[in-house]
Amino acid sequence: MKNKAIVLLSGGLDSATALYIAKAKGYNCHCLIFDYGQRHRKEIGSAKRIACSAKCPYQIIKISLPWKGSSLLDKSIRVKGQGLKVKGIPSTYVPGRNIIFLSFALSYAEAIGAKSIFIGAHAQDYSGYPDCRPDFFAAFKNVISRGTKAGVEGRPIKIEAPLINMNKSGIIKAGNKLRVPFALTWSCYRGGREPCEKCDSCYYRAKGFKEAGVKDALIK
């Protein structure tokens, strides 16, 4: 019987690649999708389609963060674009998001006996987001070891961040080899019919595809 893994699936190309890496490693993947009041629901639809394409079961967890504190939650805060350098932590940081998501994933994993949790955090993310950095994941491993039944019984659940040292073009190259359905993914911070090609996320996606020498199916 295959070992089970929980995969945090946002609908973007990073988490989709993390899912396909987990599958390639032989895991029986269970996807966790969060509806947390983000600017648009389009990425949730993308996550569902990616999970179905990968033939993986998924759960959608609806949570509320009414205090907002991020341009991804509060539409009155402008999302900066075009890959502009921002000093400090960008406005798209959602307070405690990965702590919250990993806590749900940890509970899910322990309940179903999953061995690992996969998350698509990578080098470009952790340059700006404190909850995407390697030292954060190292600290969270201590939480698992000390704060769960699985941990104190000597069988801690692993946090797997296979993209952590990759840039966007490296992720796209790796995903392309695994036949990740990039056409189903969504990166744009705006939920229009097509990517806006102006927001920060669109900028880094376009740059990554160009550097990888791969055509982005979402751009006509």
Round to whole Å and give the CA distance between 161 and 200. 22
Considering only CA atoms, which of 39, 32, 40, 37 is closest in space to residue 15?
32
Rounded to an integer, the average pLDDT of 28-41 is 93
pLDDT band of residue 113 (cuts 50, 70, 90) is very high
Segment 39-87, tens digit of pLDDT: 888 999 999 999 999 999 999 999 999 999 898 888 888 776 655 555 6
The confidence score (pLDDT) of residue 127 equals 61
Round to whole Å and give the CA distance between 172 and 183. 12
The confidence score (pLDDT) of residue 93 equals 87
The confidence score (pLDDT) of residue 85 equals 56
The confidence score (pLDDT) of residue 190 equals 81
The confidence score (pLDDT) of residue 128 equals 77
pLDDT band of residue 186 (cuts 50, 70, 90) is very high
The confidence score (pLDDT) of residue 2 equals 87
DSSP string computed for 29-87: EEEEEEES--S-SHHHHHHHHHHHHTT--EEEEE---TT--STTT-TTSPPPBTT---S
Does a structural domain hold residue 163?
Answer: yes
Are the CB atoms for 59 and 108 separated by under 8 Å?
Answer: yes
- 129 Cβ contact list (under 8 Å, min separation 6): 89, 90, 93, 98, 121
Does a structural domain hold residue 106?
Answer: yes
The confidence score (pLDDT) of residue 191 equals 77
Instruction: Name the domain count of the chain.
Output: 1
Round to whole Å and give the CA distance between 207 and 220. 16
The confidence score (pLDDT) of residue 87 equals 66
Does a structural domain hold residue 217?
Answer: no
pLDDT band of residue 200 (cuts 50, 70, 90) is confident
Does a structural domain hold residue 116?
Answer: yes
Does a structural domain hold residue 218?
Answer: no
Segment 3-27, tens digit of pLDDT: 999 999 999 999 999 999 999 999 9
Range of the domain at 15: 4-212
Q: Mean pLDDT score of the chain, rounded to an integer? A: 91
Round to whole Å and give the CA distance between 78 and 198. 12
Structure tokens at 39: 């600017």
Are the CB atoms for 21 and 162 separated by under 8 Å?
Answer: yes
Round to whole Å and give the CA distance between 37 and 35. 6
Does a structural domain hold residue 173?
Answer: yes
Does a structural domain hold residue 219?
Answer: no
Say which CATH number the domain at 97 has. 3.40.50.620
Does a structural domain hold residue 206?
Answer: yes
Segment 122-176, tens digit of pLDDT: 977 656 788 999 999 999 999 999 999 999 999 999 999 999 999 999 999 999 9
pLDDT(111) > 80: yes
| For the chain, percent of residues with pLDDT exceeding 70 | 95
Round to whole Å and give the CA distance between 175 and 196. 23
Which helix (H) or strand (E) is 203 found in, with range? helix 200-212
